[in-house]
Structure 1
Amino acid sequence: MPNTLLDVDESLMKNNLLLPEYKEEGEEFDRLLKTLETPQTPSVVVRPHPGICIKTKTDTGDKIFVNVCHTKEIPPPEDISDDKLDKLLEEDTPSWCIPMSIGHEHMESDKSGSSCPTYDVAINTKFFDTCQEKKHFFAFAILTILSAIGEKYDKVVDSENYVVLKNRKVVGKLHDHRVAKRQPKYSSQTSASSPLIQEIPEEKTSKSKDEKSGAVRVDVVNSSQYVIFKKPREGKTEKLIGYFKLPPQCFKDEIRADIGEDRIVIEVSCHNYLVDIFVPFSIDQSSVTASLNADLNILQLDMPVTST
């Protein structure tokens, strides 16, 4: 993206948006604004393969679709026996994690033409095949996936009365998933109270493609167009404060901010603008606040972090 698209008077931005505790750090702000390091966590973007489509409802009676898809780029869960799974199912909080990538909500039409929330959830291809062969693994995986969607999107999803569509593997069109290239945490590395859901963040974008693996290498908006501070500057971090230069003539309803536990995605799709970064902190997603300075096209995110 040409830099001219996001030109902003940086002195005005600093004077108007810098928090009081950073007023004496003007030179540091200027330096960070222009030369931030590229995020260190490697990642790839993949288009998952169609698998099955689940139809279910929320507690309010709203119909939703879940496209369960698969890719080799997502690691499989720890390989366990049938007997071990049966024992895990007897636990109140199973310690077995299923790595997955949960896409953003998109609206798709059902047979009657009504728009329904739809979610793409990608899992490992080998594990998907296992679920197709073994009904108890399949049931556990679907329970986990529906629980993960409910947790991420603050919905109560019916995980008992779902229907697997017979003649459709996908409702709508599968979206690209961006996944971090890191090792999953297996039960030997976690406590018995660890959650059974291990989400691997995703996002769509498009750049150079690896013909062998189908993976798309990710290039995001140049890091000179955003800056992130930690507060306080020294000692235990309490929160992150991010400033993002947005395209000119950008309206509030065109901005999509998706804040994950350790990932920040800011997208203005109509302007081909995308910031997609990982941070070495655990963000308290429920406490994040955002404000937009429409005059300067600056989005500010106030992101408290949880204790680690």
Structure 2
Amino acid sequence: MASISDKSLLSAELQEEEEEEFQRLLLQATQKIQSSLPSQAESKPIRPLPGFCLKTRTVSGDKVFVNVCKSPHIPPPPDLSNEELTCLIESEAASNFRIPMSLGEPHAEVDKSGNGCTAYDVSISTSFFNKMEGNQFLKEFFITVALEGLSEKYKMDLSYQEWLILKNRKFMGSISEQTIRTKSKPVIQEVDSSEVKEKTSNLWQSSVSESSATVPEYTIVAEPSVNHPDHLVAKICLPKMTSVRSLDLDLGEDRIVLEGHPRLYHLDIFIPYSIVPEESRAQFHRETKILTVIMPVQRPLLLP
């Protein structure tokens, strides 16, 4: 009887171990599936408003319409004067200037002659749209960048010189809802001295006086320092911080926003390259009180 009882007990223990192993594998699989799904916080739908309709053609002669739309949910580009923009265009850094915009999917439409055509929706910041409406130079620059972006994304050759803004039509067909990427929040890791790697090849540095306690000192490094960089490294000095639990870091495609609570630090800067927020990493060194943010850089869109 004892032997039978022992076998029964052993069988029950094995069943419990198998059940625990099954639950562990199930949890592991669920976490893997969830991690592969896009985070709802990284994107959101928007309903852009019509602005103006642009008519152009491909190099092969196909008719293309571009619905230029506006939305307050899209950030504006850096505020530059015409003189500053001209200097930027003439410099080697022209391809690094970014206008945040959402390039919608192509949709088939019919023009006023009853012929088939293709339309695209391009959405930009409402404030930038309003500024552009009163600035022909800025509008022409934006149109060149938008057409170049559509050509790059959809692998077609659009004419950058031959285009026309329709006077009596604000959009072709209908304007669809678009999904835009919001700021991504990388996990900030805490590291010790053995994990800190010093960077060289400085791109530029910005600092503030000690009397300005809300804006931290920071440096941004481009690596490699010649041609177009593969990634940027930002080092932000936060001497009053003791833990990453009080830090809130948001990354946009061309923007860094950092908050150190309770109201210790605030940093909101644009960067001259478009980065990949979801692939960026951040580390906070407890001893040096330096936050290091490593940001992969997107491949540039070259201006014609």
TM-score normalised according to structure 1 size = 0.50
Counterpart position of 1:121: 122
Secondary structure of the 1:130 match is helix
Counterpart position of 1:73: 73
Counterpart position of 1:46: 46
Structure 2 CA distance for partners of 1:125 and 1:307, relative to 1, 3 Å: closer
Structure 2 CA distance for partners of 1:156 and 1:280, relative to 1, 3 Å: same
TM-score normalised according to structure 2 size = 0.51
Distance of 2:279 and 2:26 partners within structure 1: 24
Report how far residue 280 of structure 1 moved: 3.5
Counterpart position of 2:162: 161
Secondary structure of the 1:160 match is strand
Report how far residue 135 of structure 1 moved: 0.7
Distance of 2:142 and 2:33 partners within structure 1: 45
Letter aligned with residue 100 of structure 1: M
Larger Rg: 2
Please list, as runs of the form range in 1=range in 2, the aligned pairs for 1:287-302 lying within 5 A after superposition.
Answer: none
Distance of 1:306 and 1:91 partners within structure 2: 20
Report how far residue 180 of structure 1 moved: 1.6
The answer on whether the counterparts of 1:39 and 1:279 sit within 8 Å (CA) in structure 2 is no
Structure 1 residues 178-223: Cα deviation after superposition (integer angstroms, max 9, x where no partner): 112228xxx997979669xxxxxxxxxxxxxxxxxxxxxxxxxxxx
Counterpart position of 2:239: none
Number of residue equivalences:
178
Distance of 2:107 and 2:150 partners within structure 1: 13
Secondary structure of the 2:100 match is strand
Asked if 1:107 is matched to 2:108, the reply is yes
Distance of 1:161 and 1:145 partners within structure 2: 14
Secondary structure of the 2:162 match is coil
Structure 2 CA distance for partners of 1:92 and 1:116, relative to 1, 3 Å: farther
Counterpart position of 1:143: 144
Q: Which has the higher contact order (CA 8 A, sep 6+)?
A: 1
Report how far residue 86 of structure 1 moved: 1.3
5+ long unaligned stretches in structure 1: 1-25, 196-260, 263-277, 282-304
Please list, as runs of the form range in 1=range in 2, the aligned pairs for 1:12-91 lying within 5 A after superposition.
Answer: 30-32=29-31, 35-36=34-35, 39=39, 41-91=41-91
Please list, as runs of the form range in 1=range in 2, the aligned pairs for 1:236-275 lying within 5 A after superposition.
Answer: none
5+ long unaligned stretches in structure 2: 1-24, 185-203, 206-219, 230-274, 281-295, 300-304
Structure 1 residues 85-141: Cα deviation after superposition (integer angstroms, max 9, x where no partner): 111121355132100000001011111111111100000011011111011100100
Distance of 1:129 and 1:306 partners within structure 2: 29
Secondary structure of the 2:67 match is strand
Counterpart position of 2:196: none
Secondary structure of the 2:56 match is strand
The answer on whether the counterparts of 1:120 and 1:174 sit within 8 Å (CA) in structure 2 is yes
The answer on whether the counterparts of 1:77 and 1:127 sit within 8 Å (CA) in structure 2 is yes
Letter aligned with residue 72 of structure 1: P
C-alpha RMSD of matched pairs (Å): 3.6
